[in-house]
């Protein structure tokens, strides 16, 4: 970039991953941008108990501004304080005042300020828009200078283009090698197969299939599930539930089991090209990843050598039954090498800068 940019983000939370799967994505992207000389302010609401479950302090690489979730005057004041920034980003899924922010952030747009909609769950947003032609966001979307997405590939690009987006570009998940790396085995997380994810309506049926039914089929294997909301879920005796896992423990969670299971939401699996943050976190830690199938997996990791791909719980059980520790270690090592070579947030920040150069040149 020709100069340091002032960038304002309006998102769910930078400092808390509690019911906030985008936290590590935000941290990775923003930290990499800051190290490339840009100044970032992240505005987040004091909502959904996230501030009570912080897992990092305010970082040195971004200014965090927390505002009240009780009255719309608070986000309006935050918007006014962001006026004059070079880039203003409205992220999806803030959790409160989303409709207000989607509309009001466009008031900051002018020739020296690029306004971006950054969708951290494009399948959910697209389903929302396609299912409701009266959604006010239909008329707002074409006014944004750019739409960035957390994933989705060509299917999401095409869908956003049909809806009127000027430009849609995926900025995929990745990992921060300083944060995601191998560590010693932690007895708390020792298992044959571990899954980490919150209990959400569009994922639960797939967890039943890929994780819980696999546990029923292989009762001699030990299974571990972490995340919020599973406490009253019926599980077999070989499954251990450990609740919310703070980000400080993610490396141990990914380094300790024989294998790590990734399960996409239904909409993500349908659109494809959307590897979750936990995939790259696990790869960075050298974990052996078993993932449900979705289109585009081979764009990121080579099936059979860097990642193992399954289509249902039966295949999970079969894969686990034939997985020797030496094979698991080799797959994890190959995944880590690929992640370091191609999938760090430094790579993603460079891609983003190239986009922004073009945006400013166009304006």
In terms of phi and psi (left: phi > 0; alpha: psi -120 to 50; beta: otherwise), the region of 240 is: beta
Residues 257-273: pLDDT tens digits?
A: 999 999 999 988 889 99
The one-character DSSP state at 59 is P
Among 61-65, 163-167, 355-359, where is mean pLDDT lowest?
355-359
Closest CA to 270 of 348, 313, 212, 206: 206
Closest CA to 223 of 198, 189, 263: 189
Q: Are 44 and 12 in contact (CB under 8 A)?
A: yes
Mean pLDDT of 275-296: 96
Give the CA count within 13 Å in the CB-facing half-sphere of 144: 31
Percentage of the chain surpassing pLDDT 90? 91
Residues 199-252: pLDDT tens digits?
A: 999 899 999 999 999 999 998 999 999 999 999 999 999 999 999 999 999 999
pLDDT of residue 363: 60
């Amino acid at each position: 970039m020709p100069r340091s940019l002032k960038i304002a983000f309006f998102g769910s939370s930078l400092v808390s991953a509690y019911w906030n799967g985008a936290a590590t994505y935000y941290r990775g992207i923003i930290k990499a941008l800051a190290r490339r000389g840009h100044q970032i302010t992240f505005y987040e609401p004091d909502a959904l108990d996230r501030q009570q479950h912080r897992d990092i302090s305010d970082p040195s690489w971004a200014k965090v501004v927390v505002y009240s979730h009780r009255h719309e005057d608070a986000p309006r004041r935050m918007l006014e304080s962001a006026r004059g920034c070079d880039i203003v980003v409205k992220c999806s899924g803030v959790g409160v005042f989303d409709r207000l922010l989607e509309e009001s952030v466009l008031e900051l747009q002018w020739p020296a300020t690029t306004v971006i909609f950054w969708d951290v769950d494009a399948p959910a947003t697209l389903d929302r828009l396609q299912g409701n032609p009266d959604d006010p966001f239909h008329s707002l979307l074409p006014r944004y200078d750019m739409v960035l997405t957390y994933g989705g590939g060509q299917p999401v690009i095409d869908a956003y283009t049909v809806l009127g987006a000027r430009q849609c570009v995926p900025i995929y998940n990745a990992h921060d090698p300083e944060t995601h790396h191998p560590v010693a085995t932690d007895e708390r997380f020792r298992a044959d197969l571990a899954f980490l994810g919150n209990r959400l309506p569009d994922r639960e049926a797939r967890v039943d299939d890929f994780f819980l039914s696999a546990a029923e089929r292989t009762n001699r294997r030990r299974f571990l599930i972490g995340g919020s909301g599973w406490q009253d879920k019926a599980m077999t005796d070989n499954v251990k539930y450990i609740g919310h896992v703070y980000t400080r423990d993610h490396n141990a969670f990914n380094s300790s089991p024989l294998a790590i299971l990734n399960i996409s939401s239904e909409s993500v699996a349908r659109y494809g090209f959307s590897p979750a943050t936990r995939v790259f976190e696990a790869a960075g830690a050298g974990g052996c990843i078993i993932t449900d199938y979705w289109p585009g997996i081979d764009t990121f990791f080579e099936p059979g050598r860097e990642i193992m791909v399954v289509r249902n719980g039966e295949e999970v059980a079969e894969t686990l039954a034939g997985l020797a520790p030496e094979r698991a270690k080799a797959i994890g090592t190959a995944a880590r090498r690929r992640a370091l070579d191609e999938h760090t947030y430094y790579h993603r920040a460079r891609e983003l800068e190239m986009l922004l150069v073009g945006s400013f040149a166009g304006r």
